[in-house]
Amino acid sequence: TAELLRDPALFREQAFVAGHWQDADDGLEIEVDNPATGEVIGTVPACGEAETRRAIEAAEAAWVDWRRQPAGNRAAILEAWHQLILENAIDLALIMTLEQGKPVGEAMGEVTYGASFVKWFAEEARRVAGSIVPAPTADRRILVMKQPVGVAAAITPWNFPIAMITRKVAPALAAGCPIIVKPSELTPYCALALAVLAERAGVPAGILSVVTGDPKAIGAEMTGNLAVRKLSFTGSTGVGRILMAQSAPSIKRLSLELGGNAPFIVFDDADLEQAIAGLMVSKFRNAGQTCVCANRILVQDGIYDRFAAALAEAVGKLVVGDGRAAGVTTGPLINAAAVAKALGHIEDATAHGARVLTGGGAAPQGGRFVTPTVLTEATTAMRLASEETFGPVAPLIRFEDEADAIRIANATPFGLASYFYTNDLGRAFRVGEALEFGMVGLNTGTVSMEMAPFGGIKQSGLGREGGSVGIEEYLELKSFHIAGL
């Protein structure tokens, strides 16, 4: 794989622990494959508790100096890292396509998006300011200071192998925290390439570690170790729940970005073309494998048939294939379980009365490819309405009025992203305020960008990433009372 890159050194098959590149202590490895072909592209160390513990100890030791650095020094290192990520974007995108499957153009988009968090938090590093609050007596002053929370740990998913890491690592470093990352075992190479570039940018030894390997063992050490003060996780709600429980004994600070079940509501008065364009991005980006992907598409009666026909036409133009091939818009799903789930949702829906307008099953290429699918006459009783499909399947559920749409949209234990299309100003405010989600897109299919808080309510998680609040997740407040003045 390395020989495909302009800079072969970006393809590392070792973990980066406490400032050293290393194999697993016991020499064991895990294989990583290309979801488009099933071919093994390399191995990474199968690290566990011991390597994780070493990374944590090194982080604790390195923290003493790191937190004392002027914010401008940390910002300068982040700026250098940002620059290096952009300079190596082509290699990073290729690594991403090889291990994750998304088309290279989309992978380039993620590199830029991922880099934007590094830039953003380099800037935010300089703006971590406390405050002085009025005291109750003349002889007292009260200073509210912001200080780094301490050693942080991050567990990240495979669907955005770069952005989900920079969104955690950059604010941690900016705030003055060291951080240990456990990337998904399915996409470790982007994480390791980021570590190569971070080392080149001047991140001191021990401040950033990337530990590959056994999720349970690494997760157990990260949550059980008292030196870790903060855990940031992006992944499924089920695993989030486990990590939250494991973090309970030591009362760790938590940021959890968990599953979603995004409604995408199209009202009769919507601009049809805009709504189709927004849905194509929201639903089919990354072959439908994002936690903010439209999952339940609610379409009002009066526009339903026109919308369905226009959508089927747009979806019919998607090109399924290996993400490295020119013109491909839709890559493979990440693994066989993902394919089984998407196909299962289609089968369950058609068995319960849904109609296939386009697509409808496995793609002719076989393997992990699924044909982008549009289903009409979907209902809330079908599996795809209550489970995240995480695949290129668009079910259209019919509704009658605004109250109906809001009720259906909110009828979920999840609350991450939501979208709606209308040109009625009153309705825009009513629906925007009524949707119980951490993010609402009006007349847009995108809600992820570095300057805005990203995160969910209900069982979609805790905390926010990005925006000016993103760095607060890595800061503690200290009230400093000075009396007897």
**Chain residues in the site for ligand ADP (CB under 6 A):** 155-158, 182, 184-185, 215-216, 219, 235-236, 239, 242-243
State in angstroms the smallest separation of the CB of 58 from ligand ADP: 21
| Closest chain position to ligand ADP (CB) | 219
Residue 210 and residue 338: Cα distance in Å, rounded? 26
> Radius of gyration of the chain from Cα atoms?
23
State in angstroms the smallest separation of the CB of 483 from ligand ADP: 46
State in angstroms the smallest separation of the CB of 31 from ligand ADP: 15
Q: Please say which residue, 175 or 210, places its beta carbon nearer to ligand ADP.
A: 210
Find tokens 């009658």 and name the residue: 400
Q: Please say which residue, 397 or 462, places its beta carbon nearer to ligand ADP.
A: 462
Residue 239 and residue 223: Cα distance in Å, rounded? 13
Question: CB under 8 Å to 188, separation ≥6 — which residues?
Answer: 32, 44, 99, 210, 212
State in angstroms the smallest separation of the CB of 158 from ligand ADP: 6
Tokens at 235, concatenated: 């992944």
Q: Is the sign of the CA dihedral 258, 261, 266, 272 positive or negative?
A: positive
Whether 257 is catalytic is yes
Q: Please say which residue, 163 or 354, places its beta carbon nearer to ligand ADP.
A: 163
Q: Please say which residue, 128 or 417, places its beta carbon nearer to ligand ADP.
A: 417
State in angstroms the smallest separation of the CB of 298 from ligand ADP: 25
CB atoms within 10 A of CB 400: 10
Q: Please say which residue, 185 or 476, places its beta carbon nearer to ligand ADP.
A: 185
State in angstroms the smallest separation of the CB of 185 from ligand ADP: 5
Q: Please say which residue, 7 or 185, places its beta carbon nearer to ligand ADP.
A: 185
Q: Please say which residue, 201 or 217, places its beta carbon nearer to ligand ADP.
A: 217
State in angstroms the smallest separation of the CB of 238 from ligand ADP: 7
Q: Please say which residue, 176 or 213, places its beta carbon nearer to ligand ADP.
A: 213
Choose the catalytic residue: 106, 257, 388, 450: 257
State in angstroms the smallest separation of the CB of 339 from ligand ADP: 14
Closest CA to 234 of 183, 271, 194: 183
Alpha-carbon distances, residue 220 vs 49, 207, 246, 382 (angstroms): 8, 20, 7, 36
Residue 187 and residue 211: Cα distance in Å, rounded? 12
Active site residues: 257
